[in-house]
């Protein structure tokens, strides 16, 4: 497989994985906006995490920001898969911001709330997977003129 095809494959994989994250974040957003209580299979941890003051920035659910971020990743990854040269740079910036936010939210769950939300952990795993896929993307080969 050539480096160009491998890059296309990895960007396509990032786009597909982002759809899973988008589904998770959209579900949590709907739950937050409707006031539904999540139990995560009988565990009260989801409610403790998603009902905490850390689950919103002002009046905006953090899950909504996650859904927007996953949609942005899907968009830039799709553009990158089709060869748009600037898309990978924007994609890396968005994923880096997501990665840092995920680290913060994992810290909050582990050390401030002492509770873990399974949906949030799934989103963290998706973000880490996307970051790993982007690390695996080979650098773009520059063509020599002449």
Q: What DSSP string runs through 43-109?
A: -THHHHHHTSGGGEETTEEHHHHHHHHHHHHHHHHHHHHTT-SSHHHHHHHHHHHHHHHHHHHHHII
Composition of the chain by helix, strand, coil, percent to 5 = 75, 5, 25
The CATH number for 17's domain is: 1.20.1440.130
In a domain, 144, yes or no: no
In a domain, 141, yes or no: no
In a domain, 145, yes or no: no
Q: What's the total number of domains in the chain?
A: 1
In a domain, 70, yes or no: yes
How far apart are alpha carbons 131 and 14 in whole angstroms? 9
In a domain, 25, yes or no: yes
Which among 45, 26, 42 has a CA at the least distance from the CA of 34? 26
- Whether the CB-CB separation of 32 and 55 falls below 8 Å is answered with yes
pLDDT, position 58: 95
Q: Which structural domain, as residue segments, surrounds residue 107? A: 3-136
| pLDDT surpassing 50 at residue 146 | no
What are 12-57's pLDDT values in tens digits? 999 999 999 999 999 999 999 998 777 677 778 888 999 999 999 9
pLDDT, position 57: 95
92: which strand partners?
A: none
Average pLDDT, integer, range 104-130: 97
- Whether the CB-CB separation of 102 and 127 falls below 8 Å is answered with yes
What are 57-111's pLDDT values in tens digits? 999 999 999 999 999 999 999 999 999 999 999 999 999 999 999 999 999 999 9
User: pTM score, two decimals?
Assistant: 0.93
């Amino acid at each position: 497989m050539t480096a160009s095809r491998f890059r296309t494959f990895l960007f396509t994989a990032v786009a597909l994985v982002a759809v899973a994250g988008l589904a998770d974040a959209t579900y949590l957003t709907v739950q937050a906006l409707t006031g539904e209580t999540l139990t995560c299979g009988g565990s009260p941890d989801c409610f403790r995490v998603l009902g905490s003051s850390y689950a919103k920035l002002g009046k905006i659910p953090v899950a909504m920001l996650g859904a927007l971020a996953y949609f942005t990743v899907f968009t830039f990854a799709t553009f990158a898969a089709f060869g748009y040269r600037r898309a990978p740079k924007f994609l890396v910036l968005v994923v880096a911001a997501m990665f840092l936010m995920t680290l913060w939210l994992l810290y909050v769950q582990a050390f401030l709330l002492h509770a873990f939300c399974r949906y949030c952990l799934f989103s963290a795993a998706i973000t880490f997977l996307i970051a790993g896929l982007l690390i695996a993307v080979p650098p773009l080969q520059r063509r020599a003129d002449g």
